[in-house]
Amino acid sequence: MRLLSLIFIPLGLLIELFAVWVFVAGWHEPVGLITILFVHLIGCAVLIVGVYLALPPNYRRPVGGGFAFLATATVFAPALGALGLVLGMLPGLYFAYREKPKEWDTLAIPDLPFQPVTVNPNDVFMRDGLASVLMHFDDRNRRQQAILACRHLPRRDAVPILRSGLSDSADEVRLLAYAMLNSIERDLESQLNTVRDAILANGDEDGELHEERAMLFWEFSYLQLAKGSVEELMLTKARDAIDTAIEAQATAQRWLLRARICLELGHYDDAESALRHSERLGLSADDAAPRWAELAFCRRDYQDVAPALKRMSPRAANNPVMRPVMEYWL
């Protein structure tokens, strides 16, 4: 296109110069004037095409407006219009301002990971980042990808994000979040049915199956999959199952699980009794101290929270989950 403009512009100027020469030479008869006008129009047409091809693409739109401006400047101002157009426009195009190279480059936002290859799924930044995508991104596809990426998070972290997806404005995001939550519930129910069938088939002398059954019922509350009366029912079933396991064989971890269930049910005296049983059976201070602190907090005995937390070892106190709690209370 630039090569054609370099051909058409000089050719148009030569034709225009020829028309001027003919006029100066004295062709003032009607036939001569018509000839000069015809030559002038041909020169203008060639010049307009050459100048138009030299323009940047964004200056060529609209096409009609660009041609009308060039035609007005050349046709109605013979010779001077064409010369002024070339001398006034082409140097400006040739010596146009060029932007300096930018020190910062704008990069596209990368896609969310579908597999935890380099990102730790337990990392708080991944969890909070997915929640931010659901809250702040207008792109529906991005929000769907955030929901799909929850598959690689621990269930405890994924369920709140999926629940926030249930209120999304896009039907696809809501349905996907509901389907993933329903998949988690079906998985827990399938495990419960498997454990129940195993108990009916072989019994449970040492209480391991009932302990597993209690933990599965407990998961419904722990993962916040159940609310209100349904949650209370699940916790009650979990307490009954762990009581059966304790009757078969009492262990510190089983009493600890019973204490956690009673805390959620609001039965604080039963929770205290369960914690004492678990400590008598050898529960470590690192496992018992957070539960004593939680029990004191639920009872609003805030003066007992810090002493309970001080029983923890430095290693347990530096756990990423416990560190904010320790910094607040100690």
What's residue 94's pLDDT? 62
Is the model more confident about 134 or about 326? Answer: 326
Residue 301 is classified by DSSP as -
Contact 17, 9 (CB under 8 A): no
What stretches of the chain show up as alpha helix (H) in DSSP?
A: 2-24, 30-54, 63-75, 80-94, 124-136, 140-149, 155-165, 171-202, 208-222, 228-248, 252-265, 268-280, 285-298, 305-309, 314-317, 323-329
pLDDT in tens, 27-52: 666 766 677 677 767 777 777 777 77
- Tokens at residue 181, please? 């939550």
- CA–CA gap between residue 195 and residue 216 (Å, rounded): 10
Contact 313, 329 (CB under 8 A): no
Is the model more confident about 273 or about 71? Answer: 273
Q: Is 196's pLDDT higher than 70?
A: yes
Residues contacting residue 188 through CB under 8 Å, at least 6 positions apart? 216, 219, 220, 225
Helix axes 252-265, 285-298, angle to 10 degrees: 20
Q: Is 258's pLDDT higher than 90?
A: yes
Q: What is the mean predicted confidence (pLDDT) over 246-269?
A: 92
Is the model more confident about 154 or about 264? Answer: 264
Mean pLDDT (the chain, rounded): 79
What's residue 124's pLDDT? 43
Measured torsion, CA atoms of residues 297, 303, 307, 312, in degrees rounded to the nearest 10:
30
Q: Which residue has the tokens 């006029």?
A: 23
Q: Is 154's pLDDT higher than 90?
A: no
Contact 186, 247 (CB under 8 A): no
Q: What is the mean predicted confidence (pLDDT) over 158-176?
A: 83
Q: Is the dihedral of CA 249, 254, 256, 258 positive or negative?
A: negative
Q: Is 91's pLDDT higher than 70?
A: no
Residues contacting residue 152 through CB under 8 Å, at least 6 positions apart? 113, 115, 116, 121
- CA–CA gap between residue 263 and residue 272 (Å, rounded): 9
pLDDT in tens, 101-144: 677 777 776 665 554 444 454 444 454 577 777 777 777 888 88
Is the model more confident about 313 or about 125? Answer: 313
What's residue 296's pLDDT? 92
Going by pLDDT thresholds of 50, 70 and 90, the confidence category of residue 79 is low
Chain-centroid distance of CA 213 in Å reads: 37
pLDDT in tens, 216-246: 999 888 888 888 888 899 999 999 999 999 9
Q: Is 60's pLDDT higher than 70?
A: no
Where do the domains of the chain lie? 2-94, 115-203, 204-269, 284-330
Q: Is 298's pLDDT higher than 70?
A: yes
CA nearest to 185, candidates 211, 158, 165, 208: 158
What's residue 35's pLDDT? 73
Q: What is the mean predicted confidence (pLDDT) over 281-299?
A: 91
* Stated pTM of the model: 0.58
What distances in angstroms separate CA 88 from CA 9, 95, 97, 103, 160, one per listed residue? 13, 12, 15, 34, 66
Is the model more confident about 172 or about 11? Answer: 172
Residues contacting residue 158 through CB under 8 Å, at least 6 positions apart? 150, 151, 180, 184
Contact 153, 116 (CB under 8 A): no
- CA–CA gap between residue 33 and residue 19 (Å, rounded): 10
Contact 261, 231 (CB under 8 A): no
Is the model more confident about 13 or about 291? Answer: 291
C-beta neighbour count of 198 within 10 angstroms = 15
What's residue 26's pLDDT? 66
Specify which of 29-43, 79-93, 102-116, 282-296 reaches the highest per-range mean pLDDT.
282-296
